[in-house]
């Protein structure tokens, strides 16, 4: 089961970030159909928050930034976007 979903939309792609049943941070991409879960961070994490902006993000064409937590600290990483 997924918990704490949050989305970022880039063009016609919807990226849903969430905590999966193994307490990892994962995402699924929707563009007419769901592509399937991809794990981004393995561990005991929660509270993922993606951010994408067309004009206020220096890497808008190539990545979605996201924050996540282990309950004590907050971490940053990015999801590299494909051009296809």
| pLDDT tens over the chain, length 84 residues | 678 899 998 889 999 999 999 999 999 999 999 999 999 999 999 999 998 766 555 556 688 999 999 999 999 999 998 755
Q: What pTM was estimated for this model as a whole?
A: 0.85
Contacts 24+ apart (CB under 8 A), 16-22: 17/48, 17/49, 17/50, 17/66, 18/48, 19/45, 19/46, 19/47, 19/48
- Residues 20 and 33: their CA atoms lie apart, in Å, by 19
- Residues 77 and 41: their CA atoms lie apart, in Å, by 9
């Amino acid at each position: 089961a997924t918990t704490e979903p949050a989305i970022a939309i880039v063009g016609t792609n919807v990226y849903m970030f969430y905590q999966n049943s193994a307490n990892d941070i994962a995402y699924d991409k929707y563009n007419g159909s769901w592509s399937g879960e991809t794990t981004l961070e393995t561990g005991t994490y929660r509270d993922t928050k993606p951010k994408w902006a067309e004009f206020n993000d220096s890497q808008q064409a190539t990545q979605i930034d996201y924050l996540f937590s282990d309950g004590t600290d907050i971490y940053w990483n990015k999801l590299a976007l494909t051009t296809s």
